Structure 1
Amino acid sequence: MRATRVLYDLGQSLWLDNITRDMLTSGTLKKYIDTLSVTGLTSNPTIFDHAISRSNAYDSEIRRLVGRGLSGETLFFELAIQDLTQAAVSARVRQVAARGFPARQKAFCLQCALLSGGYSAT
């Protein structure tokens, strides 16, 4: 049994705070959730600034958004929301379906999914 699963079984939550588009598109986030028992995701503008400025994974989407007239902070937050939405949906699929996850993780995941449009409130 992986050490991260042992920690989970002991009630500890492993959170990831470095969400990037590369991580989302390569399947790395899914791997972390499935094999390393990652149960939470968090981020902030500094993390996204680093992700966007240090990767070409955002280039085509930046060009598309600029073509729609977005720039500056609006463009930045649109990219961040796209990544957070995809990450929340990935986490929701794993966490809500899993049995034995603490209620707080399921509630967090459901909140992320609701915010990202992954669930209907009805």
Structure 2
Amino acid sequence: MGADDKVFTLEDVSKHNTNKDCWLIISGKVYDVTKFLEDHPGGDEVLLSATGKDATDDFEDVGHSTSARAMMDEFYVGEIDASTIPNKPKYTPPKQPHYNQDKTSEFIIKLLQFLVPLLILGLAIAVRFYTKST
């Protein structure tokens, strides 16, 4: 990466969205992965579906190897103008009642500590009556 790096807008990169011309945005950098489409282990559909947006999260979620990251240098074409990428709304999980796993486990253990001895006692009594009656 030198001083002559090209800067692209999201609109510029979005135009390259076919299997004959495929560009991706990953970590603020633009990559032309057209020549890599056939060799991509996940298939070309994965790469094509990541065009027209910032594909950083998609790339990181997969957990690419160090060698895969090193390969990216040969596909580098420039930088993305970050002001052209819309801000993603931050994910907020839906409000749910608090579930305390520890208290539930405690309750189950206490219940079993009460019921298992009763079950053993009942079984012992049943065996005693059964053996007496025969």
Task: Give the TM-score normalised by the residue count of structure 1.
Answer: 0.26
Q: Which has the higher strand share?
A: 2
Larger radius of gyration: 2
Q: Which has the higher contact order (CA 8 A, sep 6+)?
A: 2
